Amino acid sequence: MKRFGIRGIVVALSLVLLLPGLTHAQSSGGAACLQITPGARADGMGRADVALAGDATAIWWNPAALAYRNDRVISLMHTQLVPDLASDVYYENLGFAMKGPAGTGIGASLIYLTYGQSQVVDAEGNPGGTFTSWEASPQVAMGTEIVPGLAVGATLKYVYIMLAPDWATNGLGKGTGDSFGADIGVLLSSKALLPSFPLPFHLGVNVQNLGPNISFINADQADPMPRNLKAGIGVQLLNGEDFTGTVAYDFNKTLVYSSDKPVHNMGAELAYHKIIAARLGYIYDKQGDITDMTYGAGFAIPLQSSTISVDYASVPQATVLGRVSKFSLSFRF
């Protein structure tokens, strides 16, 4: 049996960890569901969001941003991940965040990733039964402002991975694994750092997925949690009565493999009255074979005391695969 890992968004292929005959690929860790970026706004801006994180997806991007939550928000995202390869491989993210007491914010989310159905084939090539592979991760988070303009936060998570039931592993071991982890985030405002600076900005840092390895067949084949360092800046270039403009940059470096090259993410957003927004970004992931533009749009529907936001993004994958469309929905009240 050969071990096959994943990198980036090509998550459908990770189910082959339990199937023979495929080659090894470099991975940024196990638990693919923890590596997929939530929120079509962030995706449209090139996945540069660690210093922006404005809705419940802050639980993933930077929990420190929850400290500045002044309302309640529900965020939902649905994505068909690899439509070129399989129609039943998709990702769901449901999150809730709200203002807490005394300069704090709290949130909870549930991530679900399914690889669809697979069929067992024996050594002679005879088909057997079918099973569904999936991952799930419930998470809770809190952010708090420790001094004006400086917030810290943490996300605690549990992840369960069901690659294959015991009957499908041919006695080689269990096809399930689980682990737990934590994210530690910091968000610093220009008001605290450079109060007289003419362009408001935020600096964000998030160390993600600190936790023990995930083992399946045996401990020697354990996959590390996808530990990652994310740092970035978000700058508000325009803040007029009609238009607002924001640019952002994120730096990502896996903490699993020291030889892996960093990933650079950058993006921009132009919004009109916070109702219609256009977004453009760029992902530079040379090692993951993704160096291309992202783009997207958003539309907000104000109600009496709440707002519904719909966002869309088109993001590239490795060059062997086509682009992916992402949709998300937020309800603020």
Return per-residue pLDDT of the chain as tens, 333 residues: 333 333 333 333 443 332 222 222 334 667 999 999 999 999 999 999 999 988 999 999 999 999 999 999 999 999 988 877 778 889 999 999 999 988 899 999 999 999 888 777 766 777 777 888 899 999 999 999 999 999 999 999 999 998 888 777 666 667 788 999 999 999 999 988 888 888 999 999 999 999 999 877 556 667 899 999 999 999 999 999 899 999 999 999 999 988 889 999 999 999 999 899 999 999 999 988 899 999 999 999 999 889 999 999 999 988 777 899 999 999 999
Strand ranges inside 56-149, DSSP E: 72-80, 90-99, 104-121, 127-147
- Round to whole Å and give the CA distance between 22 and 221: 16
Phi, psi (deg, nearest 5) at residue 240: -95, 180
Cβ neighbours for 303, distance < 8 A, ≥ 6 positions apart:
none
pTM of the complete model = 0.86
Question: Helix, strand, coil shares of the chain as percentages rounded to 5?
Answer: 10, 50, 40
For residue 42, the surrounding DSSP H or E stretch is: helix 40-44
Name the token pair of 146.
Answer: 């420790």
SS3 of 220, please?
A: helix
Backbone angles phi, psi at 15, to 5 degrees: -65, -20
CA–CA separation, 202 and 194 (whole Å): 11
Pairing of strands 201-210, 307-315: unpaired
Q: Is the dihedral of CA 45, 50, 54, 56 positive or negative?
A: positive
Task: Work out the angle at residue 304's Cα, subtended by the Cα atoms of residues 298 and 309, and round it to the nearest 5 degrees.
Answer: 15
Amino acid (one-letter) located at 329: L
Torsion of CA 70, 277, 112, 177, to 10 degrees: -90
What is the identity of the amino acid at 325?
Answer: S
Torsion of CA 158, 160, 161, 167, to 10 degrees: 160
Burial class (CB in 10 A: 0-12, 13-18, 19+), 126: exposed
Q: Read off the amino acid at residue 141.
A: A
In the chain, what are the domains?
Answer: 11-332 (2.40.160.60)
